[in-house]
Amino acid sequence: MRIAILDDYQGVALKMADWSRLQRAHEIVVFRKPFAGADEVVRALADFEVISAMRERTPFPRSVLERLPKLKLLVSTGHWNAAIDVKAAAERGIVTAGTPSTGHAAFELSIAMLMCVARQIHVEHQSVREGGWQVGVGNDLFGTTLGVIGLGRIGAQMAKVGRAFGMKVIAWSQNLSEERARECGAQRVEKAELFSKSDYVTVHVKLSERTRGLVGAAEIALMKPTAYLVNTARGPIVDEKALIAALNEGRIAGAALDVFDIEPLPADHVLRRTPRVLLTPHIGYVSQASYKDFYGGTVKAIEDWLAGRPVDHPLKG
């Protein structure tokens, strides 16, 4: 049987779990670079029965699944993957599975990015690397207001750490109740109030049709000129063009982005030249513990399926 491991950007997949039993009996092929599009996906994967997908790096809509006649098992890292059409896979007899996930890696990166933009660590680092010294005056977290969009698992952790930093925490999402906000140590406010009162806004909702463009030009226009936006959730939740315009015009103090409309971010993308923005390459879940859970879970899912056992983590799409 042929097994494909996709989007192993760092070349570490085979080191993060024990693939030896599978390697002895089956052919494993690792793909390190992203595919250019659906046609390339189909050409590369047409002869594989098993595919291991890393999060949402490679989409598998119905139109792609229909062109992979040999595919029998599609394992995605994590419990949930909006880029895989789970229903279409089931209709074609393709088993889909997810894996365990640590749940703390993305939260930790969110905190790191929040602190980085507050103290402008990336700017001061670049100055020192270029032979300079201090170039600015950092901002405080203590005594400021943290606006959290979404109080799920990650948002609740952000609220907790915000309080530990001495921040006032306010929150909003489309279904957020006052009771849930209180449980997380936050005050529920309306959307406009969150954007107008926050010194730092962090985004922690899932991408869906309801949340696409949730942070648009109108919301960004409400932000203080001294405020920062941090997005480690999904790129399309924030109107990229509106954010770029605000950064270029200095209407907000800055932003920190780990996610983008197009990933990997094209080499000539305007964000690479936009001022007042910290960029990281979607590394929210890229950590030792996460990868060991991801790939360890992938190996187990494949072995369970080969043995005729049900998968532990059915994939949610």
Q: What is the pLDDT of residues 269-283, one digit of tens each?
A: 999 999 999 999 999
Q: What is the pLDDT of residue 197?
A: 98
Mean pLDDT (the chain) is: 97
Q: What is the pLDDT of residue 158?
A: 97
pLDDT band at 8 (very low <50, low <70, confident <90, very high): very high
In the chain, the percentage of residues whose pLDDT exceeds 70 is 100
CATH tag for 105-279 (out of 3.40.50.720, 3.40.50.300, 3.90.228.20, 3.40.50.620): 3.40.50.720
| Cα 39 to Cα 49: distance, rounded to the nearest angstrom | 18
- Convert the pLDDT of each residue in 239-263 to its tens digit: 999 999 999 999 999 999 999 999 9
Query: If we measure between CA atoms, which residue out of 316, 247, 303 comes closest to residue 73?
Result: 303
pLDDT of 22 > 90? The answer is yes
C-alpha Rg value of the chain to the nearest Å: 21
- Convert the pLDDT of each residue in 74-90 to its tens digit: 999 999 999 999 999 99
Rounded to 5°, the CA angle 93-99-102 comes to 160
pLDDT band at 316 (very low <50, low <70, confident <90, very high): confident
**Which residue spans within 58-216 are E strands per DSSP?**
73-76, 95-97, 145-149, 168-172, 187-188, 200-203
The answer to whether residues 181 and 187 touch, using CB atoms and an 8 Å cutoff, is yes
User: If you write DSSP's letter for every residue of 13-73 in order, what string do you get?
Assistant: GGGSS--HHHHHHSEEEE--SPPSSHHHHHHHHTT-SEEEE-TTSS-B-HHHHTT-TT--E
For range 41-45, the mean pLDDT: 98
Domains 2-102+287-306 and 105-279 belong to one CATH topology: yes
Residues comprising the chain, all counted: 317
DSSP bridge pairs for 50: 3, 73
pLDDT of 56 > 90? The answer is yes
pLDDT of 216 > 90? The answer is yes
| Cα 232 to Cα 295: distance, rounded to the nearest angstrom | 22
Three-state DSSP at 98 gives coil
Angle between helices 105-119 and 121-129 (to 10 degrees): 70
| Cα 96 to Cα 239: distance, rounded to the nearest angstrom | 32
Q: What is the pLDDT of residue 103?
A: 79
Q: What is the pLDDT of residue 300?
A: 97
Q: What is the pLDDT of residue 112?
A: 98
Domain boundaries along the sequence of the chain:
2-102+287-306, 105-279
Give me the long-range contacts of 212-219 (CB less than 8 A, separation at least 24): 212/236, 212/237, 213/237, 213/238, 213/239, 214/149, 214/238, 215/149, 215/239, 215/243, 216/242, 217/242, 217/245, 219/191, 219/192, 219/195
In one-letter notation, the amino acid at residue 156 is: A
- pTM listed for this prediction: 0.93
Rounded to 5°, the CA angle 280-283-286 comes to 155
CATH architecture of 2-102+287-306: 3-Layer(aba) Sandwich (3.40)
Residues acting as catalytic residues? 234, 263, 282
- Scan for tokens 């936006």, then name that residue: 229
- Convert the pLDDT of each residue in 223-245 to its tens digit: 999 999 999 999 999 999 999 99
pLDDT band at 312 (very low <50, low <70, confident <90, very high): confident
Rounded to 5°, the CA angle 148-151-156 comes to 90
For range 310-317, the mean pLDDT: 88
